[in-house]
Amino acid sequence: MFIDAENLENETTFRADIAIVGSGPAGIVLALELAKAGYEVALIESGRLHFSEEIQNLGEASHFDPTLHAPMSECTRRQLGGTSIIWGGRCLPYDPVDFDQRPYIQNSDWPITYQEIAGYFQRACDYFFCGQSEFNIKNISNIQQKSIVPGLPDAEVLNSTLERWSLPTNFGKEYFHDLQQSQKIKLLYGLTCTEIETNEQGTQVELLHAKTLGGKNIWVKCQKYVLAGGALNTTRLLLASDRQHPGGIGNHSGLLGKFYMGHLSGDIALIHFTRPPKDTVFGFDRDPDKIYVRRRFSFTREFLHEKQLPNIVAWLGSPKFGDPSHQNGVLSSAYLALNMPVLRNYLTSTAMRKAAIGKENQGVYRAHIMNVLKDFKQAIAFVPRFGYGRYIAKRKIPALFVYSAANEYPLHYHSEQIPNPNSAVTLSDERDAIGMRRLNINLQFTQQDIDGVVQAHKYWDQYLREHNCGYLKYVTDDPESSVWEQAGDGFHQVGTTRMSEHPQDGVVGTNCNVHGVDNLFVASSSIFVTSGQANSTFMIVAFALRLADHLKKIKKKV
pLDDT in tens, 270-313: 999 999 999 999 999 999 999 999 999 999 999 999 999 999 99
- Can you give the pLDDT at residue 149? 97
- Can you give the pLDDT at residue 240? 98
List the chain domain ranges. 2-130+168-262+420-445+492-556, 134-165+263-317+401-416+446-486, 322-394
What's the mean pLDDT in 195-220?
A: 98
CA dist., res. 247 & res. 235, Å (int): 11
CA dist., res. 481 & res. 488, Å (int): 13
**Cβ contact 312:453 at 8 Å:** yes
Question: Across-strand partners of 298?
Answer: 158
**Cβ contact 308:104 at 8 Å:** yes
**Cβ contact 292:140 at 8 Å:** no
Q: What residues contact 512, with CB distance under 8 A and at least 6 apart? A: 499, 521, 522, 523, 527, 543, 546, 547, 550
pLDDT at 342 over 70: no
Q: 57-94: b or e for each residue (b if 16 or more CB lie within 10 Å)?
A: ebbebbebeeebbbebbbbbbbbbbbbbbbbbbbbbbb
Rounded to the nearest 5 percent, the helix, strand and coil shares of the chain are 35, 20, 45
- Can you give the pLDDT at residue 163? 98
User: Residues 71, 72, 74, CA angle at the centre, nearest 5°?
Assistant: 70
CA dist., res. 192 & res. 212, Å (int): 6
Share of the chain above pLDDT 90, in %: 84
What's the mean pLDDT in 315-327?
A: 76
What's the mean pLDDT in 52-58?
A: 98
- Can you give the pLDDT at residue 354? 67
- Can you give the pLDDT at residue 557? 65
Q: Is 470 helix (H, G, I), strand (E, B) or coil?
A: strand
**Predicted confidence band at 327 (pLDDT cuts at 50, 70, 90)?**
low
End-to-end CA distance of the chain: 26
pLDDT in tens, 383-434: 777 777 778 888 998 988 888 889 999 999 999 999 999 999 999 999 999 9
CA dist., res. 310 & res. 533, Å (int): 8
pTM, entire model: 0.92
Of 297, 230, 243, residue with least CA distance to 82 = 230
User: What kind of fold does domain 2-130+168-262+420-445+492-556 have according to CATH?
Assistant: FAD/NAD(P)-binding domain (3.50.50)
pLDDT in tens, 369-379: 777 677 777 77
pLDDT at 545 over 90: yes
CA dist., res. 36 & res. 179, Å (int): 11
Q: What residues contact 137, with CB distance under 8 A and at least 6 apart? A: 143, 146, 160, 161, 162, 285, 293, 295
Q: At 159, phi and psi to the nearest 5?
A: -130, 25
Share of the chain above pLDDT 70, in %: 92
Residue of higher predicted confidence among 351 and 232: 232
